[in-house]
Structure 1
Amino acid sequence: MAQEKTSNLRKIAIALFVIVFAATAFILPKLYFKFIAANVDISEKTYLYIPSDADFKQVKDSLDAKAQFKRPQYFYDLAKERELEKKFKPGKYALKPGMNNRAIVNMLIAGNQEPVQVSFRNLRLKENLAAAISKKLEFDSLQFMQLLDSTAFIEKYGFNKDNVYTVFIPNSYEMYWNVSAEDFFIRMHKEYTSFWNAERKQKAEALKLSQQEVSVLASIVDAEALMDKEMPTIAGLYLNRLKRGIKLEADPTVIFANQDFTIRRVLNRHLTKASPYNTYRVTGLPPGPIMMPSINAIDAVLNYEKHNYIYMCAKEDFSGYHNFADNLADHLANARKFQQALNQRNIKK
């Protein structure tokens, strides 16, 4: 009897073993393919963009196109279990060769984006900046321009529509692709505040200029100076004019006022343009920058060269340097040499 009972127990054990083995043989591969096995079938890193207003169908379509899953059903089984449809976050994500399903699902739920490098410098107009950054970030240039044209918004940060462009300090910045236009501005204002440290503020106060006015003057200096080493000299010249109440008479402001950036030779007809930016007609600084000033130009204004120059003219050798003068007679002589050089090169406009 005992022998028969032992035999039955052995049979039960064998049966259980067979069942467990069969179940394991069936389940383990599924678990392996669902959680562990590589499922992204690409040869190099690619990027998945999920817009802020995307629904899960858009996410699925993008995933199918970008990840090229070897076994898509295993991914979407896991995605369903983890409620990815409700939990995914918008952004720019890096898909790498050999990624498994768990890594992708976790990444999209946690919002582990790859940051974007946004760089800008030497951009003439706000519109140029809007176009440049909209190529890097989710929001479009129109949204950005509407924000900069919103008096209610920019006044909260101490700017107006004319000088708001001075908030953008040219540099490279790291941020997320789906940052909003408003949050982008807030980040730029934070960088602006950091740039204008106590030392720079003290130097601006010594010049009796606001931070925005320093940047406006720096934009003129930047437009005039082809060589950075001349910036402090040019800055000193314009500061001399401001202190004496002499019109700046800066050719780049005339070009800006005419909104014709093909002008190579400023003529009398250009000087008559009625505009607050035409420093041949108005005294003092224009209301806003004529381009995005570089950090070098801003610092050149703050650390200007002390001298008596009030006139400058491009050198006749077209080297990019200038002849400076502290009296009208010398300046007119320099101007004649440059005008003759223009005529010799048949530069009429």
Structure 2
Amino acid sequence: MKKKLAIGIAIIVLIVAIIGYSFYSKIYSPNVPETTSILIPTGTDFESLVRIIEPHVKNVNNFIWVAKKKNYPNKIRAGKFKITEGMNNESLVDHLRGGKQETITLTFNNQDSFEKLAGRIAVQIEADSLSLLNAFNDREFLTQNGFDATTALAMYIPNSYDFYWSTNAQQFKEKMLSEYNKFWNDDRISKAKKQGITPLQVTTLASIVQKETAVVNERKTVAGLYLNRLHDFWPLQADPTIIFALKEKYGQDKEFKRVLNKDLKIDSPYNTYANFGLPPGPIGMPDISSIDAVLNPEDHQYYYMCASVENIGYHKFAKTLKEHNINAAAYQKWVSQQGINR
């Protein structure tokens, strides 16, 4: 009788041990085979989340069991999460439920329109391009923060920024406003005042400088030239503004490699041949090098410039109209030889 009782007790202990080990294994055995990142979109339900997780765990059923025990189906958080090799289900669920996202480095360069900017941003965060575009053009937001439709692009300064992947359009816009205000610190504002222009006007002029030359070490010279014209009440006579006006009239997909004399008569506030001073807003999105070139221009007496035919991509600068006419004649001859009519 005692022998049977001992055997019975042993069997019960074994069963309890097996059940206990099974529970322990579900909770604490490593279930993530390799380190990776997963994306959980906003509004994801548990069924969809399981489909996201399944390719990245050894046993999805054990994950589901632990997740339900820890009430994770009711506490799903969106974002990009890094999961590491060897994670067990308890640490995995706690990590995802805790919502501690991995940051991403979001980057954009010189986007000439909100459409292009929205497209560039939408491939890096969860917000789609349409919601971003709507946020960019929010008139109430622009007015409250000192912008309008012509100057709004100035708020977005090309650079790299840390974001969460789950950032929505409103959050992105607010973060960029914060970055804009940080960028325009006391030092930069003081330098703008020294040039007699506002930060928005600095960005407008910088956009012209950016379009005028792709050579970074030439930008301070170009900025100094335009500031000379501006300070001496000359029209800027910047060809990039004419091209901007032509694109506004004939379509952004049109290519204008050469500005013709007839183009200089186009009726537009961006025509810097017909109008004095700066145009209403930036003609593109200048990068920091162009903005800082306007704030720290080269001090010289140049008032004229012309594309160089000896050093393609660079410019020849002149102090007098006589010098400039020589440079311009050489350039026009070269352009005609290349067969560039438009």
Compute the TM-score of the two structures, normalised by the length of structure 1: 0.90
- Secondary structure in 2 matching 1:173: strand
- 1:79 is matched with which residue? 67
Match for residue 19 of structure 2?
26
In the alignment, what sits opposite 1:264? 257
The alignment status of 1:129 with 2:117, answered yes or no, reads: yes
Greater shift, 192-201 or 97-106, is seen at 97-106
Cα-Cα RMSD: 2.1
Match of 2:310 in 1: 317
Other structure's SS at 1:202 match = helix
Q: Name the structure 2 match of 1:37.
A: 29
Contact 1:125/1:290 (CA < 8 Å) preserved in 2? no
**In structure 2, what is the equivalent of residue 112 of structure 1?**
100
Q: CA deviation at 1:59?
A: 1.6
Matched, 1:141 2:129: yes
d(CA) in 2 for partners of 1:178 and 1:121? 21
CA distance in 1, matches of 2:81, 2:46: 15
Q: Secondary structure at the match of 2:188?
A: helix
Q: 1:17–1:120: structure 2 CA closer, same or farther, 3 Å change rule?
A: same
Would you say the 8 A contact 2:45–2:76 is kept in 1?
A: no
Q: Distance in 2 between matches of 1:194 and 1:269?
A: 43
In structure 1, distance between residues paired with 2:128 and 2:235 = 39
Would the aligned equivalents of 2:44 and 2:76 in 1 still touch at CA under 8 Å? no
Q: What residue in structure 2 maps to residue 291 of structure 1?
A: 284
Which residue identity is paired with 1:338? Y
Instruction: Between 94-103 and 199-208, report the one with greater CA deviation.
Output: 94-103
Aligned equivalents of 1:149, 1:168: Cα separation in 2: 13
1:4 is aligned to none
- Secondary structure at the aligned position of 1:215 is classed as helix
Give aligned pairs, total: 337
Structure 2 equivalent of residue 99 of structure 1 = 87
1:191 maps to a residue whose letter is E
Superposition TM-score, scaled by structure 2 size? 0.91
Shift of 1:20: 2.6
Offset, 1:14 = 6.9
Task: Measure, in 1, the Cα distance between the counterparts of 2:260 and 2:113.
Answer: 23
- Alpha-carbon contact 1:313-1:323 (below 8 Å) kept: yes
Question: 2:49 pairs with 44, 59, 79, which one?
Answer: 59
Q: Does 1:160 align with 2:152?
A: no
**Which of 39, 46, 58 lines up with 1:49 in the alignment?**
39
Distance in 1 (alpha carbons) for counterparts of 2:61 and 2:46 = 16
Q: Does 1:336 align with 2:329?
A: yes
Q: Is the 8 A contact 2:37 2:83 kept in 1?
A: yes
The residue identity in structure 1 corresponding to 2:31 is: N
Q: Percent identity?
A: 39
- The Cα of 1:318 is off from its aligned counterpart by 4.4
CA contact (8 A) 2:258 2:340 kept: yes
Q: Which amino acid aligns with 1:134?
A: A
CA distance in 2, matches of 1:274, 1:53: 50
What SS does the aligned partner of 1:117 have? strand
Mapped pair 1:217 → 2:205: yes
Secondary structure in 2 aligned to 1:284? coil
Separation in structure 1 between the aligned mates of residue 110 and residue 140 of structure 2, nearest angstrom? 28
For the Cα contact (< 8 Å) 1:148–1:161, is it kept in 2?
A: no
SS of 2:205's equivalent in the other structure is: helix
Structure 1 segments, 4+ long, off by >3 Å, are 10-18, 44-47, 95-99
2:340 equivalent to 1:347: yes
1:312 and 1:243 map into 2 onto residues whose CA distance is 17
Q: Are the equivalent residues in 1 in contact too, given 2:38–2:82 (CA < 8 A)?
A: yes
Larger radius of gyration: 1
Q: Structure 1: where are the runs of 5+ without partners?
A: 1-6
SS at match of 2:237: coil
* CA distance in structure 2 between the aligned counterparts of 1:71 and 1:300, rounded to whole angstroms: 58
* Deviation (angstroms), 1:25: 2.2
- Residues 106-138 of structure 1 show CA distances to partners (whole Å, capped at 9, x for unaligned) of 122111222111011122222211110100011
Q: Which of 160, 171, 178 in structure 1 is aligned with 2:166?
A: 178
